[in-house]
Structure 1
Amino acid sequence: MKQAQIYFAITLFAWSLQSAVAQVIPPGGSIYNPPPPPPPPPPKIEVPTIPRMDELPKRSYAPIAPQQSFDDRIGKCLDDAAAAGLGPAERTTYSRNCAVR
């Protein structure tokens, strides 16, 4: 009878140690820290197309939007500055900064 109780106590003690081992916290860790996120997927590597020597390059014949001349941009900026009520010195500064944008 005594041996059965000792055997039962040892078995119970060993069983309780196994559950405690599963809860070991690594050094520098905390029980409140969530597990780290999974690593991102590897980048997709695509082989670029190599141009052929016997083909002409493809050209885009789409119309290019006409750009305003510098004189037109300065005039528009001066008009905007005058409409905002700026004085002559402020108009020059504003139009100079506005036209180069």
Structure 2
Amino acid sequence: MSKIAVLNLLFANPKTLNPEKFCEKYAKKQKSEWGYRANWNKLLAYVLDVSEKTVESWGPDFENCPEKYQKRLAEIDALKIAEAILKKHGLSQEFLDALD
């Protein structure tokens, strides 16, 4: 499968990503570490452009997180994966521009 096909798959049908899974993957602190909750709340508030109080209102396991935010987290995850693929293969923005 080509690199472009992989990128197309990532963005073709954005799914949802639970905030807990997102934080396990990208937060500086893991669930077993002291202060992880504050760290996770700050990360989610930042990437979703909402207040920390909003994130806190979703509950201890983020069970009340609206689907629109879970979709956004899936999109961010896809972007991070695409970025890693491009970097791994030494592809740049110039390469992508040349595909047009």
Q: TM-score, normalised by structure 1?
A: 0.21
Question: Higher Cα Rg: structure 1 or 2?
Answer: 1
Q: Which has the higher contact order (CA 8 A, sep 6+)?
A: 2
More helix by share: 2
Q: TM-score, normalised by structure 2?
A: 0.21
